[in-house]
Every structure is written in C-alpha cells, then in structure tokens.
Amino acid sequence: MDSKRELKEFNVLGYNIRLKSEEDSGEIAPEKIIEYVQGEIDAIKQSSPSLENAQAAVLVALKIASEKLGIERDYQENITKLKASAKGALGYIEEVSPSTM
C-alpha cells in the first residue's frame, strides 16, 4: 500500500513550522499536535500575559516533558503490576491444577 506524505505548514508563536503527515499511518495528525501546543501556549499566555514568546515556549516544552515523563512512569508501574499479577495467577493455576507428570 502506497502511503502519501503531505507537507503542511503552521504558524506557532510567529514561526512557520512545517510538519509531514502520512495518510493512514496511525500517526497523530499534525493539526491535532499544533492545536494541543497552541492551546497550552494560550493558557500560559492568558495566566501570564507579559511573558515573551520564548518564555511561553519553554514553559510549554517543560509542561509537555513533565506530562510525557509522568505517562512513561505510570506505564512502567502498570507493566510491573501486570507482570506481578500474571506471575501470581500462573502460580495459582500451577498450584490448583492436577499434575501431568
């Protein structure tokens, strides 16, 4: 299946940003990414209107990095819990099932 890559241009804080999107790839659409980032910028600028664009950009980057690291930590904790539960379930199954030997 041929996938078509499309280059789209957006303006964020006065900078023209070009993002490629790949149709039917399962990627998050560039419009959604820009919408999210712009929403974060707007929220920060609304609470602190005197911030310069560069300061707002750094604060957004830090907020998004914090969210990403929190999600990764939660994911790892959930995987660890899932492995422990699976190990416990397997131990229980081995304990209650008749031996085949």
pLDDT value at 100 more than 60: no
Model pLDDT for residues 7-30, shown as the tens digit of each residue: 999 999 999 999 988 766 778 899
Model pLDDT for residues 36-45, shown as the tens digit of each residue: 999 999 999 9
Model pLDDT for residues 46-91, shown as the tens digit of each residue: 999 999 999 999 999 999 999 999 999 999 999 999 999 999 998 8
Residue 5 and residue 22 in contact, taking contact as beta carbons nearer than 8 Å? yes
Distance CA 47, CA 36 (A): 17
Task: Spell out the alpha helix ranges (H) of the chain.
Answer: 30-47, 53-96
What is the model's pLDDT at position 70? 98
What is the model's pLDDT at position 1? 45
Within 8 A by CB and 6+ apart from 93, the residues are: none
What is the model's pLDDT at position 47? 96
Q: Token pair for residue 23?
A: 């149709």
Nearest C-alpha neighbor of 13 from the set 57, 63, 47: 57
Residue 19 and residue 33 in contact, taking contact as beta carbons nearer than 8 Å? yes
What is the model's pLDDT at position 94? 84
